[in-house]
Structure 1
Amino acid sequence: MTATALTIAGSDSGGGAGIQADLKTFSALGVYGCSAICALTAQNTTGVQGIFPVSPEFVGQQLDSVFGDIEVHAVKIGMLGTPAIIGAVAAGLRRWKPRHVVLDPVMVAKGGDRLLQEEAVAALTQELLPLATVITPNLPEAAVLLGEEHVTDRAAMPGAAARLQALGARSVLLKGGHLEGADSPDLLLHEGEEIWLDGRRIVTRNTHGTGCTLSSAIAALLARGLPLPAAVHDAKRWLEGAIAAADGLGIGHGHGPVHHFHALWPHLEE
């Protein structure tokens, strides 16, 4: 049976993040991708020029259409935007009960534009975190969810991850990319175990969509049957390759996208 994954997120007209990045990631990792679009954005590598939310009722209709016909092996959740849309997504997940839910609490775009209304943070925490197999916040997003200053050193990450887990998520992947230094450590808190995933910091301005891409890669690998620690490990390594190859794309004038098909496109030139 073909592995399938559903992304529930916003559209990025520039193609580097959101629904577009998720579907590229699913395809690159050998998974059939479906989508439920929660918002349209006018967006490119320089920033977000406009946001148009989809009605909560239509979000729910998209979910019912996909789940009612296609066996979904994993779900990735990204930009939702408003409390009403969060409620519609939570209701849909409760109706259809997918096995794996990867929640990326998208709040701010790479250029600094806010993608989640402030009043929606409480809805996200109360309604979706308890439904998540794993949440994948970066340090600033974790701070917003916890209502505290974000941690600035590796030693403080386990405490923050534990406090996030106490909010209801089964597992937490706390991403340390905002720390200073040559390393980019991530921490997976899973079934009482702290699993560190170390990685080198790749110097590039082309990192648009990295959070979307990592969470959708985890969902894709869960859909293929990998256990969560292995899915997180392999997704991080695959993303490192996509970031390392990003400068070769030459897309846009701002923060360009990562190279989702870095393992495929070079072979097309032979």
Structure 2
Amino acid sequence: MKIDVLTLFPSMFAGVFAASILGKAEEKGIVQLNTVNYRDFSQNKHNTVDDYPYGGGGGMVLKPEPIFEAVESLLSPDAPKPRIILTCPQGERFDQRKAEELARESHLIFICGHYEGYDERIREHLVTDELSLGDFVLTGGEIPAMAMIDSVVRLLPGVLGNEQSSITDSYSTGFLEYPQYTRPAEYRGWTVPEVLLSGHHEKIGLWRKKQMLRRTLLRRPDLLDRESLTVEELRMLEQLKAELDDPNRDAT
């Protein structure tokens, strides 16, 4: 995969792209990470990329010319058209399913904005996606782009040491991930659930499924409304609800 980022602050990405999972993925040749300063495509002597909005109002708006020309410099007539992503608080909420969708692409271009916003022609005639991390506003699109890129790259084959890690992540299954434990089996009087020490894979699988449902029910019940639950999951969910309503009920 090739990922290009249009930004006024390329230095912000230097450490992120070189470290940890992203850095290792690039070393392996799984992903190519690149930043482009779209100020280099400004068409005036002062290298400005923004201007006052027509009709008045506060703030400055990013001009279309530098953005269009920076993106066009990255396109190849022989390659498929990339997904061109605008990081924007007005965009679609980014989630794990969107990360999985983008991980199937061969080329992504992220556009990081600043100031008051973008010239509307960028939205209408250039980008393929507008994505947001949530219902809040940041000073620029760099941090959302970093988060989205990290989320996408870790899904690429060969990036994680254990391919099962991304499959069982929270949200990949539709539910929050089950609790995890490691050695020692007892620490300060707190013990690991016995079922995880049993070596009985079927019982461990059932325990994990139930814990995923329990955690999702307690922390993100809205996710359950979006999933098509199996008969087994519905039975577990009803049992969990009964246990939560009656704390003295025997929980298994």
Interval containing the TM-score (normalised by the shorter chain): 0.3 to 0.5
Normalising by structure 2, what TM-score? 0.32
Report 1 or 2 for greater relative contact order, CA contacts < 8 Å, sequence distance ≥ 6.
1
Normalising by structure 1, what TM-score? 0.31
